[in-house]
Amino acid sequence: MYLNEEQQAILNGSQGETMAKIMKTMVMFGDAFGAEKMVPVTSKHNHLVTSFGLKVMSPVYDLMQQLLDAGVKSSQTFSVDPRPVDKNVPANFLQKLVFNKLMYTKQNFYEEQLHKLGLMSDDAFTCACYLDQVGNVPKKGDVLSWAESSAVVYANSVLGARCNRNSGIMDIMGSIVGYVPYFGLLTDEGRRATWIIKIETTKKPEAQLLGSAIGMKVMEDVPYIVGLDKWIGSELDDSACTYLKDFGAATASNGAVGLYHIENLTPEAKEQGKSLIAEGAKEYVITDAELERVKANYPVVWKNPDATPKLCFMGCPHMSLQQLKDWTDKVEAGLKAAGNKTVLIPTVFTAAPKVLEEFNKTEYAARLKATGVITSYICPLMYMNNPLCKKMPVITSSNKLRTYTTARYYTDDEILTAITKGGK
Amino acid sequence: MREFKGRVVTPGTTTAEAVVTTQGFNTLASMQMALQFGDKETKCGDQNNPELNGKPLCGKALCLPQTIGSTTGGLVLYCACSMKRQPACMLFSEHIDSLAAAGAVLASVWVEDINMPVIDCLGEEFLSYVKDGMTITVKEDGVVVVD
């Protein structure tokens, strides 16, 4: 790989041993992909995936401490994924014991490290950092050193920024050294589509089910999606962005998608159209039957498949402000139609602290609270990431949460029915 | 016995028993629970991967196409290496992906005394030939012997 004078000097130790090791890490990483050069990180803020102070992840905190002790720091501030625990979320005595005494005992220590390393603010904990209320919104063409699969795919696809699917730790190292290797989704060639996805459904496809189907099919390739604008429009308004937030998270977690193009909607597809499609691109047709097939093939991993759900999580990735308002209306209407006053299953809607702050200023907040739904800033995945939750029948419309935990996936309509009228 | 030649991502030599997945290896889903709750064998916990779910990964020759899923994947692999609960080697039929590469590189640069050779581009034939329980020998130059 070609390194300019400054980069070579850093590698040779001009800024100390730790900085040299960081540069070595980035160079070796780039070499694995045949990167020919390093390019500057240009976004205002970074985003990190590691937000949790898990005792067992001590190697990560030890490494962060090495960075702090060496005095190396990024010129960027950053947001970070959601906190793992919140006392407002239902948990029994044993769960609280496991969370606080066994699992997340390093949380305060790690948050102190994050502050020292450049955390944007005490409430910059969310996977949906790109929402306006949070304020980490990269510009089109910005080069990022982000991690968090759902944020990376959103930044690339909806905002037109350029970012590879970086891992945790690599995210902060790229930001500290100020350069990332130039390969993959940073290049024009790497952003061309090698799959054409034709949407031929008779109704608007469920975002997280469609994302799951496409992710499992194309894996890490770039899909060019035709026919989705018929259902979600050709403007990146609140509704379309929310849809793409959930769709993208599913493509990234059920597969490894870092970028998708939606014909007539996402910025590069609007500008370049079908010229984005690489020669020899494969084709995948999405029909109602195909989505049904994908959903029917999800494994049911509950101990008792017929168990009554004990908890419902919505908001993985974190919900948008508009989503919270829309769901308030839907839950109220569902309860009214069923003759119920409050939800029948303990239900948690998760969103960024800044989004919840805005939501709580609206009249919707009191209305949602009256339905019994709890709002929280946590990461549902982190909440469920323990053997106690493995035995717990949890439902969700998040395909990301389904992938990583024992939560069972249902469509939005099925979830609404379950929490307002009963049944699974 | 057959030999396959791949590309060395991180060097090393080892001999170990194969565990094989023909679908993408989701590092977070596979390793998170085992690492968190003291499973010294690092048994795979990915319910969506019937080929590997419940099988030990620590000390095995993990044969896979690529890794998929959350971008915590690389740091999970780095933690497994730091805790000495990593596979003996990782053998990719395809080009390595960015998350697995990050984990391998982080371990190589930041973990002392690590020996987890990572070889990629071994080809589709490698993955269709290798089966669970076969003995794998990884040589310094990226040659993988399957016996």
Domain boundaries defined on chain B: 2-146
Predicted TM-score (pTM) of the model is 0.94
The CATH number of B2-146 is 3.50.30.10
Tokens of A306: 């017929």
Q: How far is the alpha carbon of A220 from chain B, nearest alpha carbon, in Å? A: 8
- Cα dihedral sign for B84, B86, B91, B93? negative
Identify all chain A residues contacting B108, using CB atoms and an 8 Å cutoff: 28
Tokens of A181: 């290797």
Which tens digits make up the pLDDT trace of A408-418? Answer: 999 999 999 99
Strands (E), chain B: 2-5, 7-10, 14-20, 25-26, 61-64, 67-68, 89-92, 118-120, 135-138, 143-146
Cis peptide before A317 (omega within 30 of 0): yes
Cα–Cα separations (whole angstroms), residue A409 to A3, A202, A395? 47, 22, 6
Task: Answer whether B9 sits within 8 Å of A54, measured CB to CB.
Answer: no
Beta bridge partners of B55: none
Task: Name the pLDDT band for A423 (thresholds 50, 70, 90).
Answer: low
Task: Answer whether A59 sits within 8 Å of B82, measured CB to CB.
Answer: yes
Q: Is A155 helix (H, G, I), strand (E, B) or coil?
A: helix
Q: How far is the alpha carbon of B49 from chain A, nearest alpha carbon, in Å? A: 10
Q: How far is the alpha carbon of A40 from chain B, nearest alpha carbon, in Å? A: 19
DSSP state at residue A184: G
Task: Answer whether B48 sits within 8 Å of A33, measured CB to CB.
Answer: no
Q: Which pLDDT does position A386 carry in this prediction? A: 77
Average pLDDT over residues B5-20: 97
Scanning the structure block, which residue is given the tokens 């030999």? Answer: B3
Q: Is A246 helix (H, G, I), strand (E, B) or coil?
A: helix
Q: Which residue of A has its CA nearest to B109?
A: A25
Beta bridge partners of B2: B146
Q: How far is the alpha carbon of B84 from chain A, nearest alpha carbon, in Å? A: 11
Residue window 50-89, chain B: list those with CB within 8 Å of chain A. Answer: 66-75, 78-79, 82-83
Task: Answer whether B47 sits within 8 Å of A63, measured CB to CB.
Answer: no
Tokens of A268: 């590069």
Please report the DSSP string for A21-80 in residue order: HHHHHHHHHHHTTT---EEE---SEEEES-----GGGHHHHHHHHHHHHTT---SSEEEE
Q: Which residue of B has its CA nearest to A103?
A: B36
d(C-alpha A262, C-alpha A273), whole Å = 9
Average pLDDT over residues B84-88: 96
Q: Does residue A223 contact residue A193 with C-beta atoms inside 8 Å?
A: yes
Task: Answer whether B106 sits within 8 Å of A147, measured CB to CB.
Answer: no
Which tens digits make up the pLDDT trace of A123-150? Answer: 999 999 999 999 999 999 999 999 999 9
What is the average pLDDT value for chain B, to the nearest integer? 95
Task: Nearest by CB to B71, from A49, A54, A301: name it.
Answer: A49
Q: Does the beta carbon of A403 lie under 8 angstroms from any beta carbon of chain B?
A: yes
Residue A390 has pLDDT above 80, yes or no: no
List the alpha helices (DSSP H) in B9-123: 27-36, 73-82, 98-110
Higher-pLDDT residue of B125, B73: B125
Which tens digits make up the pLDDT trace of A163-203? Answer: 999 999 999 999 999 999 999 999 999 999 999 999 999 99
Give the helix/strand (H/E) hosting A136.
none
Q: How far is the alpha carbon of B126 from chain A, nearest alpha carbon, in Å? A: 20
Letter string b/e over residues B51-65, b meaning 16 or more CB atoms within 10 A of that residue's CB: ebbebbbbbbbbbbb
Average pLDDT over residues B75-83: 95
Residue of A19, A62, A404 best to disrupt the B interface, most CBs of B under 10 A: A404
Tokens of B41: 């064998």
Q: Which pLDDT does position A186 carry in this prediction? A: 98
Q: How far is the alpha carbon of A396 from chain B, nearest alpha carbon, in Å? A: 17
Which tens digits make up the pLDDT trace of A291-345? Answer: 999 999 999 889 899 999 999 999 999 999 999 999 999 999 999 999 999 999 9
Task: Give the number of other Cβ atoms within 10 Å of residue A90's Cβ.
Answer: 13
Task: Name the pLDDT band for A404 (thresholds 50, 70, 90).
Answer: confident
Q: How far is CA A55 from its chain centroid?
A: 23
Task: Nearest by CB to A28, from B36, B109, B111: name it.
Answer: B109
Residue A424 has pLDDT above 70, yes or no: no
ipTM over 0.90: yes
Q: How far is the alpha carbon of B113 from chain A, nearest alpha carbon, in Å? A: 15
Task: Answer whether B72 sits within 8 Å of A50, measured CB to CB.
Answer: yes
Task: Answer whether B99 sits within 8 Å of A406, measured CB to CB.
Answer: no
d(C-alpha B31, C-alpha B12), whole Å = 23
Task: Answer whether A32 sits within 8 Å of B110, measured CB to CB.
Answer: no
Tokens of A171: 């995210």
Domains of chain A: 5-186 (3.30.499), 191-296 (no CATH), 311-420 (no CATH)
d(C-alpha A422, C-alpha A345), whole Å = 8
- Dihedral of CA atoms B110, B111, B117, B121 in degrees, nearest 10, equals -30
Scanning the structure block, which residue is given the tokens 């803020």? Answer: A45
Which tens digits make up the pLDDT trace of A218-237? Answer: 999 999 999 999 999 999 99
Task: Give the number of other Cβ atoms within 10 Å of residue B99's Cβ.
Answer: 34
Task: Nearest by CB to A166, from B9, B71, B109: name it.
Answer: B71
Identify all chain A residues contacting B90, using CB atoms and an 8 Å cutoff: none
d(C-alpha B56, C-alpha B45), whole Å = 10
Q: Which pLDDT does position A321 carry in this prediction? A: 97
Q: Which pLDDT does position A95 carry in this prediction? A: 85
